């Protein structure tokens, strides 16, 4: 693109689990690129969603939810978040209008005090509260950091999201378009496919299973002009978790596969034949080689 007035840059999304970071990213990009679930710590990699307009291209980095690490996977997620904040042009600090400011928010605010970038306070889920309550909700945060702006939004319904995007566009430095206009993520298809399968595991199996699940996509092979064959392992830590994911007579695994296949077909635009297996790998979250195998690549692993 030769437009000398074009803007391009990088924006990090940060907030405690379940405030709607992935929902906002998916709304802005217009396609499902970030896994959505109400289970905390769903996002494990820095998923990048790419927003392109005739004025700007903004690459969003959806950081893993900031939390105190308890495993090597947790260390990776924490490290991933802090590195994301050092390489962006602006930061969106998302909070939920439906929840009071808590220790999780304070933990993030302490981290953000070290960030020398414009920080927006984005108050999400305004569709779930009365407009009269908004001033009190904002008041909990407004003196915590020198915010560039405070923007109340509903990522689910899109309220005020355009206003937020306009402000970000104006703030981005002048620069070229990094990615083609129709590209919405810089992740390879294998990664996005794994995330879509993992999302279904989150949605369908509660209890302790989700935190100890990884997806290893072992094969993506075109069978013919219209069909792609995909094989993947669902990795769990304990035999009991394997039983939960397989379910009675294999029904749970079948359901996970059916729902994941629908999303993958939408992503690839082809008919998909999806085969899933469940594999027990004890304590994979604390094994560096396993983390690398399943796509979590930190500086120290």
Is 63 marked as a binding-site residue?
Answer: yes
Is 62 marked as a binding-site residue?
Answer: yes
Is 19 marked as a binding-site residue?
Answer: yes
Sequence-ordered list of residues with C-beta below 8 angstroms from that of 191, at least 6 positions apart, any chain: 45, 295
The CATH class of 189-293 is alpha beta
Is 16 marked as a binding-site residue?
Answer: yes
**pLDDT of 53-90, one tens digit each?**
999 999 888 665 454 555 555 555 556 556 667 778 99
**pLDDT of 208-233, one tens digit each?**
565 678 888 888 787 777 888 888 98
226/164 Cα distance (integer angstroms)? 40
Predicted TM-score (pTM) of this structure: 0.59
Sequence-ordered list of residues with C-beta below 8 angstroms from that of 231, at least 6 positions apart, any chain: 217, 218, 219, 274, 275, 276, 277
Burial label for 203, CB within 10 Å (0-12, 13-18, 19+), is middle
**pLDDT of 159-194, one tens digit each?**
999 999 999 999 999 988 877 776 666 555 777 788
Is 166 marked as a binding-site residue?
Answer: no
Is 298 marked as a binding-site residue?
Answer: no
Is 89 marked as a binding-site residue?
Answer: no
Is 18 marked as a binding-site residue?
Answer: yes
Domain boundaries, the chain: 7-171, 189-293
Is 192 marked as a binding-site residue?
Answer: no
> Hunting for tokens 């108050």 — which residue is that?
123
**117 within 8 A of 86, measured Cβ to Cβ:** no
The CATH number of 7-171, from 3.40.50.300, 2.40.160.40, 3.30.365.10, 3.30.70.20, is 3.40.50.300
Is 65 marked as a binding-site residue?
Answer: yes
The predicted model gives 147-170 an average pLDDT of: 95
Is 133 marked as a binding-site residue?
Answer: no
């Amino acid at each position: 693109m030769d437009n000398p007035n074009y803007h391009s840059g990088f924006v990090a999304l940060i907030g405690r689990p379940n405030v709607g970071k992935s929902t906002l990213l998916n709304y802005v990009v217009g396609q499902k690129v970030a896994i959505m679930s109400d289970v905390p710590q769903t996002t494990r990699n820095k998923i990048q969603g790419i927003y392109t307009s005739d004025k700007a291209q903004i690459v969003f980095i959806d950081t893993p939810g900031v939390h105190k690490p308890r495993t090597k996977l947790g260390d990776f997620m924490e490290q991933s978040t802090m590195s994301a904040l050092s390489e962006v042009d602006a930061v969106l600090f998302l909070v939920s209008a439906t929840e009071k400011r808590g220790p999780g928010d304070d933990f993030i605010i302490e981290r953000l005090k070290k960030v020398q970038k414009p920080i927006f306070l984005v108050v999400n889920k305004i569709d779930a509260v009365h407009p009269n309550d908004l001033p009190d909700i904002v008041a909990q945060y407004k003196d915590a950091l020198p915010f560039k702006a405070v923007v109340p939004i509903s990522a689910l319904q899109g309220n005020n999201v355009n206003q937020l995007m306009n402000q970000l566009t104006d703030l981005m430095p002048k620069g070229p378009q990094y990615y083609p206009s129709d590209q919405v993520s810089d992740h390879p298809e294998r990664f996005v496919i794994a995330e879509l399968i993992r999302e279904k595991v989150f949605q369908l199996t509660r209890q302790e299973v989700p935190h100890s699940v990884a997806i290893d996509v072992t094969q993506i092979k075109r069978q013919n002009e219209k069909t792609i064959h995909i094989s993947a392992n669902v990795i769990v830590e304990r035999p009991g978790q394997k039983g939960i994911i397989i379910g009675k007579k294999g029904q749970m695994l079948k359901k996970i596969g059916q729902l994941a296949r629908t999303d993958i077909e939408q992503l690839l635009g082809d008919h998909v034949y999806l085969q899933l297996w469940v594999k027990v790998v004890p304590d994979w979250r604390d094994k560096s080689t396993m983390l690398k195998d399943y796509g979590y690549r930190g500086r120290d692993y």
